[in-house]
């Protein structure tokens, strides 16, 4: 029986690719034993078991950007986590280890590479994360989603695979989607999504634009996130007959994408990969609250190829809906952006990553 450890997490952008990799391993090797290792208190500790996999947590967290007691304890936590990861590896005895970024992957990959266990990391963003940059010299293979990653990683270890994305996200049927959300097929539809937790900037700009959307005859699917939902629900209530819907969370994203003519989104790696796969015209508003401003770099990778529109977070309040309404009124530009973004899609990314993982085992 083959055994694998998959480590990392912290955000959905790390967790969902990790689960996709696990699912592909399990598809090829139904008896494979797969163990996840995450960071205690982070979202992977609930999301991974929901996906049907066992996970063990390490007491590890990232460095704060200012001097805090947590930073003083950081070296101690790293040492303890590497020691615990080492014991875990000796007990579980994996054939290979996969790191997807995030705090927990560092101790596991450090322990694995020091024992000569085949190892692979997957970098989702166009600007490499700190953990993956630190591990790059030690691992056997590095799977990336963007060109020109040689500036972060040894070129001989790089494989351009794309990001693992749920391929069913692109299979939504437009007529079914319109019926599911109660939309009018004769009207344009805008999808606003700021990630699973929502995005304050997008929510405030959308709330302010509800009247403009109604005037333009545009329908709205607005994923607000949990915190802003009560307020958004109230704001959208008077526009419900105009199909302006505030939703806390959209479970059927395949149908949401299928219904949408234009998408407003943050520029996390997972969101960008989904937009490529679904071929949607998008206005990207990168979050400024991420390490090394990597969402802006993700967005620019699309904008430089004429595949998306970029509005900065600071200009969203004044410019986001001017640009979005112009795009909604221009079907030719929508089609052009959609065609160009779809050219960047890599629907076989998960397969390619697991191919690389299995090739390490053969060596």
Binding-site positions for UDP-N-acetyl-alpha-D-glucosamine: 11-13, 125, 166, 196, 250, 269-274, 295
Three-class DSSP category at 242: helix
The conformation of residue 188, written as its DSSP 8-state character, comes to -
The conformation of residue 313, written as its DSSP 8-state character, comes to G
Instruction: Characterize 108-138 residue by residue with b for buried, 16 or more Cβ atoms within 10 angstroms of its Cβ, and e for exposed.
Output: bbbbbbeeebbbbbbbbbbbbbebbeebbee
- Measure the CA–CA gap between 343 and 321, rounded to whole angstroms: 26
**For residue 54, which phi and psi values (nearest 5 degrees)?**
-80, 140
**Which amino acids are annotated as binding site, given as ranges?**
11-13, 125, 166, 196, 250, 269-274, 295
- Measure the CA–CA gap between 265 and 319, rounded to whole angstroms: 14
- Measure the CA–CA gap between 121 and 49, rounded to whole angstroms: 22
Three-class DSSP category at 257: helix
- Measure the CA–CA gap between 363 and 279, rounded to whole angstroms: 38
């Amino acid at each position: 029986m083959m055994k694998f450890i998959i480590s990392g997490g912290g955000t959905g952008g790390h967790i969902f690719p990790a689960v996709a990799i696990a699912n592909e391993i399990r598809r090829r090797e139904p008896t494979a034993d797969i163990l996840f290792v995450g960071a205690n208190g982070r979202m992977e500790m609930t999301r991974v078991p929901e996906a049907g996999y066992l996970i063990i947590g390490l007491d590890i967290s990232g460095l704060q950007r200012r001097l805090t007691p947590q930073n003083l304890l950081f070296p101690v936590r790293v040492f303890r986590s590497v020691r615990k990861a080492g014991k875990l590896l000796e007990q579980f005895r994996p054939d290979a280890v996969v790191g997807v970024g995030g705090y927990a992957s560092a101790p596991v990959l450090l322990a694995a590479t020091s024992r000569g266990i085949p190892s692979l990391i997957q970098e989702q963003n166009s600007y490499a994360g700190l953990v993956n940059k630190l591990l790059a010299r030690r691992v056997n293979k590095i799977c990336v989603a963007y060109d020109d990653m040689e500036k972060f990683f040894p070129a001989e270890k790089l494989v351009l695979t794309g990001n693992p994305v749920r391929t069913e996200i692109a299979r939504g049927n437009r007529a079914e989607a319109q019926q599911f959300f109660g939309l009018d097929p004769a009207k344009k539809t805008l999808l606003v999504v700021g990630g699973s937790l929502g995005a304050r900037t997008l929510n405030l700009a959308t709330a302010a634009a509800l009247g403009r959307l109604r005037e333009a005859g545009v329908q709205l699917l607005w994923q607000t996130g949990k915190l802003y939902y009560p307020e958004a629900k109230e704001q959208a209530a008077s526009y419900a007959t105009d199909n302006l819907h505030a939703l806390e969370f959209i479970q059927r994203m395949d149908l949401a994408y299928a219904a949408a003519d234009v998408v407003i989104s943050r520029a996390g790696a997972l969101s960008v990969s989904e937009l490529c796969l679904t071929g949607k015209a998008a206005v990207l508003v990168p979050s400024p609250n991420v390490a090394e401003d990597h969402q802006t770099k993700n967005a620019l990778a699309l904008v430089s190829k004429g595949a998306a529109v970029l509005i900065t977070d600071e200009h969203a309040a004044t410019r986001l809906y001017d640009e979005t309404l112009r795009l909604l009124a221009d079907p030719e530009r929508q089609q052009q952006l959609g065609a160009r973004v779809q050219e960047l899609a890599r629907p076989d990314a998960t397969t390619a990553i697991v191919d690389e993982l299995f090739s390490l085992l053969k060596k």
